[in-house]
Structures are given as C-alpha cells and as structure tokens.
C-alpha cells in the first residue's frame, strides 16, 4: 500500500501522531529558551480532505471526522490538537494540517522549524503552507541524509520528527541507521518516529535497532478494524520522552479509544 501523506491525512494514526507532537511541543515551551523542530519528511504541509487522494481511502472520516462529537473536559494535548487543526490560515474548510504546519502554528517567535521534503513539487506546496512563519524554512533534500548535518541545532534543544512514506522495501533499515546517526550527534534531543505495523516482527526488529542508541524510549501502537490492504496498525517511537509525556498520552488515549474505535498499547522500553 501507499503511505504517502495525502492518502492518510487526518486518519486514526495521524490523529495520535499529531497529538503526540503537540504534547512534546508543549513541554519544550515550558522553558523560555528557544528550540528547533526538524521534520525530515515534511510532505506538502496541508491536505485537502475533499481531494482525490483523501477521498480514495476515506480514512479521515474515521479519524479527525470522529472527534467533532468529543465534549466535556478534554486532556490539554487533545484540546490543543482540536483547536490547532481547526485553524484554516485562509484555506478551505476541508484543509487538514500536516506536521510542519502544526509545529509552525505552535512555535513562539524565538523557535525555529526546518522542514525537509525531497519531492520538489511537494516542497513548493510546503513553502506556500509555511509562508506566514518567518522562522520556518523548507529544504529540498533527502531527509535521512540531511538530518545528521542539521544536528545538533544551535539552540541545543528540540524535536526531530521522522515520518517517512515507507515506499522503499528497506525503509526500516534506512530509518534505524538514520536514527542512530542522528542520536550520536544530538543525544539530548527528543525524537518522534512514525512507523506502520505490517508485521509485528518487522516493527519489533526496528524498535530493537533503535534501542541500541541507549536512549530512554517508549512506543505507542494503535490498531483499528480495517479491510484487507488498508492501513490498520501503526506506531510511534519516542526517544527521550519528556517528563509527564506518558501520563499526557495515557489520558489522551483513554478519550480516543472509544471515539476512534482503536486498540492502543503504550509501552516504556528499556
């Protein structure tokens, strides 16, 4: 199957990934010191949920589409997510923000975003999506190759988001190697990594490789009932999770599981 962002924008995995991103950014903003966000596979920045790719899968209906009915006292990260994705920046009401746009919306004036996208046509759209933010820049490059060269950032604080399209047969191997190389250069950074779970053995093999960095780590895996050939399970790996992140996500997942009809597992790795 194709893991390009456009087909899955706003689906169950996107919802959890973007809430985790927002929770980490909230932690970084607790200190006045600036931080950097490096997004290695930025995509186009904004996705039309009424467009051809989104309509082909219909996955957003069972993701962001199910959250409109949430009410009551929501966990802070979940409430911030709903507010953030509701901003349109002049786009149509069906626009859903990708990770770089979410990060840009939540950055302070002293913070900085570097979004990398190797497909020139996607990068042009990403530049347009981020045009309102002076300290957000787009680089046309291979995210895996470019990431270590940007580390450590001058701010010495920050988040590295790695969200590949998983088009290559050896994507897990490339991802693990790039993550190890990045961690050697920026061991104090926070790393948020998305991965599909096609087989548990392949996902566990990747996690095992990532744990060789020696970093504190946790994983969140999410599953739904889906037809054969559709994305049914995915995971997040977080290296150096900030203090309180586990509790934040447990509270979020408790509200999301009934809303999205998901099964989730949050596991602290060692």
User: Which residues have a catalytic role annotated?
Assistant: 163
Distances (CA, A) of 16 to 30, 145, 259: 22, 27, 12
CA distance linking residue 149 with residue 164, whole number of Å: 18
* Residues 36 and 114 sit within 8 Å (Cβ to Cβ): yes
Residue 109, Cβ density class (10 Å: 0-12 exposed, 13-18 middle, ≥19 buried): exposed
Distances (CA, A) of 229 to 73, 81, 133, 232: 36, 29, 38, 8
CA distance linking residue 197 with residue 184, whole number of Å: 26
């Amino acid at each position: 199957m194709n893991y390009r962002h456009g087909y899955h924008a706003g689906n169950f995995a996107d919802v959890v990934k973007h809430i985790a991103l927002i929770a980490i950014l909230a932690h970084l903003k607790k200190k006045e010191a600036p931080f950097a966000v490096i997004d290695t596979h930025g995509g186009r920045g904004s996705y039309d949920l009424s467009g051809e790719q989104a309509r082909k899968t219909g996955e957003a209906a069972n993701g962001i589409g199910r959250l409109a009915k949430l009410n009551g006292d929501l966990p802070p990260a979940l409430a911030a997510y709903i507010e953030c994705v509701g901003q349109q920046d002049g786009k149509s009401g069906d626009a859903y923000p990708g990770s770089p746009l979410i990060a840009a919306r939540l950055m302070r004036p002293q913070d900085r975003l570097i979004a990398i996208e190797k497909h020139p046509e996607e990068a042009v759209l990403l530049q347009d999506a981020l045009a309102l933010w002076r300290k957000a820049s787009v680089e046309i490059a291979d995210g895996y190759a470019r990431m270590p060269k940007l580390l450590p950032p001058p701010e010495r604080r920050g988040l590295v988001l790695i969200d590949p399209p998983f088009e290559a047969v050896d994507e897990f191997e490339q991802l693990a190697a790039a993550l190890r190389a990045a961690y050697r250069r920026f061991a104090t950074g926070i790393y948020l990594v998305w991965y599909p779970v096609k087989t548990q053995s392949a996902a566990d093999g990747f996690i095992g490789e990532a744990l060789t960095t020696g970093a504190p780590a946790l994983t969140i895996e999410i599953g739904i009932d889906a037809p054969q050939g559709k994305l049914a399970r995915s995971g997040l790996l977080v290296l150096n999770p900030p203090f309180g992140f586990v509790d934040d996500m447990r509270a979020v997942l408790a509200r999301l599981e009934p809303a999205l009809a998901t099964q989730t597992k949050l596991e602290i790795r060692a």
